């Protein structure tokens, strides 16, 4: 493949030759793709295709995981994430939403205020402003505004997932990673979160790993299809669903023949 000179102005994230191993097992093989600013990139594929590993490599969670080994290049705004000396500052720019909602065992307020506090914001008024703004954007404010000091970990699944999104927003991220966020929440919450994501696209770049191909179709500008550690295909979502694809496996998966 010819090395293409990439224009950083049109790439938020450039991934080149990304390979991820867990011990001897290869989770992702030689993946290269670009993510453009303010797009939603959908990633679909059956279980164990390397989708989650892909997300974990972006914010360098491999360093916190025994046995996980990453090679290749991932550049955020043109700089290899591995060249950041302060990995924590890197992670602060990247919001993450997990498959299972994780309300930290802190109060709802402290859940959202945690990230601002970590970066040194301590005055009460600013924190209150951030908490209200983020919870509002995550469509949770009205439900919890009267009990901000009860435990975030005891909210319902759907509420916890919106709390997680509010927490990610409190980081003021420019990249938001979502890993099958709807797996443990009800359909109504899923639709509300999808609406939120459509709005957030104006301000940030979003990578949406999803187990629901229709979710990718509803939200993603472009969609990548991962299968058993390979990036089979990436292109405009419309093309994939209109069967303007090059690879037969993609059509098979989209039509539900496996996965």
Partner 1 sequence: MSAFGATDLDLSNRRRERAFRGLFGAMTALLILPVILILGMLVWKGHSVFSLEFFLAHPRNGMTEGGILPALVGTLYLVAVALFASVPLGVAAAIYLSEYAPDNLLTRLINLAIINLAGVPSIVHALFGVGAFVLFFDFGTSILAASLTLAVMTLPVVIVATRESLQAVPQAFREASWSLGATRWQTIRRIVLPNSVSGILTGVILEVSRTVGETAPIMFTGATFYVAFLPMSVFDQTMAMSYHLYTITTQVPGVPEALPFAVALTLIAIVLLLNSVSIAFRMVLRGKKKW
Partner 2 sequence: MARKEGGSAGGDHLGREWWWDKIAQAVLFGGGISAIVFVIAIFVFVAQQGLGFALFDLDLATFFTSPQWRPTSEPEPIFGALALIVGTASITGLAMLVSVPFSIGAAIFIGEFASGRTREILKVLVELLAAIPSVVWGFIGLMVMSPLLMDVFDVPVGVSVLNAGLILGLMAAPIMTTIAEDALKAVPDGFREAAEAMGATRWQVIRQVVLPSAKNGLVAAVLLGVGRGFGETMAVLMASGHSINMPSSPLDPVRALTATIAAELGETARGSEHYRALFSIGILLFAVTFVINLLADVFVRGRRASR
Q: Which residues bind partner 2 (CB under 8 A)?
A: 8-9, 76-79, 83-86, 88-90, 92-93, 118, 174
Mapped onto helix, strand or coil, the DSSP state of residue 223 is strand
CB of 9 to partner 2, least distance (A): 7
Q: How far is the CB of 74 from partner 1 (least distance, A)?
A: 16
CB of 86 to partner 2, least distance (A): 5
Residue (of 60, 73, 67, 13) closest to 40 by Cα position: 13
Minimum distance of partner 1 from residue 66's CB (angstroms):
5
CA nearest neighbour of 54 among 8, 18, 17, 83: 18
Of positions 15, 27, 31, 98, contacts partner 1 by CB under 8 A: 98
- By a kind-dependent CB cut-off of 5 to 8 A, residue 102 interacts, out of partner 1, partner 2, none, with partner 1
For partner 2, the closer CB: 65 or 214: 65
Question: 145 phi and psi, to 5 degrees?
Answer: -60, -25
SS3 242: coil
Considering beta carbons, is residue 105 or 236 the nearer one to partner 1?
A: 105
DSSP 143: H
Chosen from partner 1, partner 2, none, partner binding at 153 (C-beta under 5 to 8 Å by type): partner 1
Contacts of the segment 49-52: beta carbons below 8 A, 24+ positions apart: 49/226, 49/227, 49/228, 49/229, 50/20, 50/226, 50/228, 50/229, 51/179, 51/209, 51/226, 52/99, 52/179, 52/209
Nearest CB to partner 2, comparing residues 79 and 126: 79
Considering the complex, state which of residue 9 and residue 118 has its C-beta at the smaller distance from partner 1.
118
Distance of CA 240 to the CA centre of its chain: 21
User: By the 8 A CB rule, do 23 and 67 touch?
Assistant: yes
Q: Which does 84 bind (CB under 5 to 8 A by kind): partner 2, partner 1, none?
A: partner 2
Q: Please, what is the minimum distance in Å from the beta carbon of residue 34 to partner 2?
A: 15
Q: Does 205 bind partner 1 (CB under 8 A)?
A: no
CA distance linking residue 46 with residue 131, whole number of Å: 36
Q: CA 58, CA 118: separation in Å to the nearest integer?
A: 21
| Smallest separation, CB 144 to partner 1 (Å) | 17
Which residues in the 130-189 window bind partner 1 by CB under 8 A?
Answer: 151, 153-154, 164, 167-168, 171
Token digits for 218? Answer: 């509803």
Q: Which stretch binds partner 1 (CB under 8 A): 62-70, 120-128, 190-198, 240-248?
A: 62-70
Encoded tokens for 50: 């390397």
Report the interface residues with partner 1, using CB under 8 A: 59, 61, 64, 66-67, 88-92, 94-96, 98, 100, 102-106, 114-115, 118-119, 151, 153-154, 164, 167-168, 171
């Amino acid at each position: 493949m010819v090395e293409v000179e990439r224009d950083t102005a049109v790439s938020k994230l450039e991934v080149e030759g990304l390979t991820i191993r867990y011990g001897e097992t290869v989770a992702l093989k030689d993946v290269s793709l670009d993510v453009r600013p303010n797009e939603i990139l959908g990633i679909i594929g059956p279980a164990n295709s390397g989708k989650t590993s892909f997300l974990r490599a972006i914010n360098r969670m491999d360093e916190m995981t025994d046995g996980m080994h990453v090679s290749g290049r991932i550049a955020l705004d043109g700089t290899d994430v591995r060249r950041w000396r302060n990995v924590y500052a890197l992670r602060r720019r990247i919001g993450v939403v997990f498959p299972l909602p994780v309300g930290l065992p802190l109060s709802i307020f402290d859940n959202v205020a945690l990230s601002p506090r970590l970066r040194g914001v301590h005055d009460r008024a600013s924190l209150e402003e951030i908490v209200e703004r983020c919870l509002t954007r995550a469509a949770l404010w009205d439900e919890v505004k009267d009990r901000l000091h009860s435990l975030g970990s005891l909210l319902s699944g759907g509420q916890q997932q919106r709390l997680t999104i509010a927490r990610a927003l409190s980081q003021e991220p420019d990249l938001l990673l979502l890993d099958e966020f709807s797996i443990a929440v009800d359909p109504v919450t899923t639709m509300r979160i999808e609406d939120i994501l459509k709005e957030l696209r104006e301000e940030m770049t979003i990578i949406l790993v999803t187990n629901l191909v229709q979710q990718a179709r509803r939200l993603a500008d472009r969609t990548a299809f991962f299968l058993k550690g390979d990036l089979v295909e990436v292109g405009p979502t419309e093309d994939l669903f209109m069967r303007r694809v090059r690879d037969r496996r993609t059509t098979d998966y989209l039509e539900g023949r496996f996965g």
